[in-house]
C-alpha cells in the first residue's frame, strides 16, 4: 500500500505539487497521465525521495518514508527515469548489477545470490543477449529494457516508471507494457506515467489525471479518459472508434 498525504513541492517560488493525497492499492498497474509540465515526473521523484516534499508524507505500508534509511528505501521502491542515457561506456550486465547495491556493503563483491537475481532480471526483460553489450551502443528500446532490468534487480516491491515508452517504437513500447503486466502478476505494484493515452487505457488498472500540480480525476481508465475529461485537461476532442470488439481513442 502506498499512501500520499498532502504532498507539496516547489522549485524556487513555483509550486509544482499542490497538496496531493492518494492511496494506491498493491499488485496493480496505476497509470499517471496529464499534460506536459503538469507534475507527473515531480510526483514520482517525491515518492521515492529523489526530491523531498516541502510538506506532506509518503507512506509505504503505513510507514513514513522519512523514517527509512536510504538503503531501506532503495529496497522498497525503485524508479525507472524518463531519460536513460548513460554518459560513460558500461556493459548492460554492469548496469543491471547496480540494482544490487542496496543489498551489498561498501566494496562488497557480488555474491552467488546477487548474480542469480541479475540473471533473472535479464531473463525477465528478454535482455540476456545484451548483457555483454555497451549500453551506449544500444537502441532506445534495448536501453530501456536494461534500465528496467536494473530496477528488477533491486527486488523492490514498488516500481515507478516515468514515461518508459515515450521514445520507443510500437514494438518496444508494447514489450515494456506487457512486461509490467507480467510483473504485476508476480506481486509487484506499478506506478507508471504514460504519454500515450491509448496505451494507458489498455494496460492500466487505474488512471489518475494530473493537471496543474493536482489530481484532476482518479478512477478506472474508461472513467478517467471520458470525452469531457480529455477536453478539459488536454484541450482536444476525442472520438472512440470500435472495431471487431476493440476500441481506441482518436484525437482531433
pTM equals 0.93
Q: How far lies 58's CA from each of 30, 154, 167, 195, 199, in Å?
A: 16, 20, 30, 24, 27
Give tens-digit pLDDT for 135-177. 988 888 888 889 999 999 999 999 999 999 887 888 888 988 9
Nearest-angstrom CA–CA distance, 123 and 115: 12
Q: For the chain, where are the E strands, in sequence order?
A: 2-11, 14-24, 29-33, 55-60, 63-64, 77-80, 158-162, 189-193, 206-211, 214-219, 238-243, 246-251
Grid coordinates 531473463 are at which residue? 123
Alpha carbon distance 90, 107 (integer Å): 18
Scanning the structure block, which residue is given the C-alpha cell 524556487?
12
Cβ-contact 239, 252 below 8 angstroms: yes
Confidence of residue 252 (pLDDT cuts 50, 70, 90): confident
For 102, the domain range is 2-251
Q: What is the mean pLDDT of the chain?
A: 92
User: For 97-134, what is each residue's pLDDT tens digit?
Assistant: 999 999 998 889 999 999 999 999 999 998 999 999 99
Return the C-alpha cell found at 95: 548496469
Q: How confident is the model over 198-204, as a mean pLDDT?
A: 95
Contact 181, 30 (CB under 8 A): no
Residue whose C-alpha is closest to residue 20's, from 50, 51, 42, 49: 42
pLDDT at 107: 87
**Pairing status of strand 63-64 against strand 55-60:** antiparallel
Strands 158-162 and 246-251: unpaired
Q: How many residues does the chain have?
A: 252
Residue 249 β-bridge partners? 240
For residue 124 the three cell numbers come to 525477465
Q: 189 forms bridges with which residues in the sheet? A: 158
| Structural domains of the chain, count | 1
pLDDT, residue 166, reads: 81
CATH classification of the domain holding 50: 3.40.50.300
Amino acid at each position: 500500500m502506498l499512501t500520499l498525504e498532502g504532498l507539496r513541492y516547489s522549485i524556487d517560488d513555483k509550486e509544482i505539487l499542490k497538496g496531493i493525497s492518494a492511496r494506491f492499492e498493491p499488485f496493480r498497474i496505476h497509470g499517471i497521465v496529464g499534460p506536459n509540465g503538469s507534475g507527473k515526473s515531480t510526483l514520482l521523484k517525491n515518492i521515492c525521495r529523489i526530491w523531498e516534499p516541502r510538506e506532506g508524507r509518503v507512506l509505504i505500508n503505513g510507514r513514513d518514508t522519512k523514517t527509512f534509511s536510504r538503503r531501506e528505501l532503495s529496497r522498497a521502491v525503485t524508479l525507472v527515469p524518463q531519460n536513460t542515457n548513460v554518459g560513460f561506456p558500461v556493459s548492460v550486465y554492469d548496469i543491471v548489477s547496480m540494482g544490487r547495491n542496496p543489498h551489498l556493503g561498501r566494496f562488497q563483491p557480488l555474491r552467488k545470490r546477487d548474480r542469480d537475481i541479475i540473471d533473472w532480471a535479464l531473463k525477465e526483460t528478454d535482455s540476456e543477449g545484451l548483457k555483454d553489450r555497451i549500453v551506449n551502443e544500444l537502441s532506445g528500446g534495448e536501453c530501456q529494457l536494461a534500465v528496467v532490468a536494473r530496477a528488477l534487480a533491486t527486488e523492490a516491491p514498488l516500481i515507478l516508471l516515468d514515461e518508459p515508452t515515450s521514445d520507443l517504437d510500437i514494438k518496444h513500447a508494447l514489450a515494456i507494457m506487457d512486461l509490467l503486466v507480467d510483473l504485476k502478476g508476480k506481486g509487484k505494484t506499478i506506478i507508471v506515467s504514460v504519454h500515450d493515452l491509448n496505451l494507458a487505457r489498455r494496460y492500466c488498472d487505474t488512471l489518475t489525471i494530473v493537471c496543474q500540480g493536482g489530481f484532476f480525476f482518479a478512477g478506472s481508465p474508461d472513467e478517467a479518459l471520458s470525452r469531457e475529461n480529455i477536453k478539459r485537461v488536454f484541450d482536444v476532442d476525442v472520438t472512440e472508434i470500435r472495431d471487431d470488439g476493440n476500441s481506441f481513442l482518436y484525437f482531433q
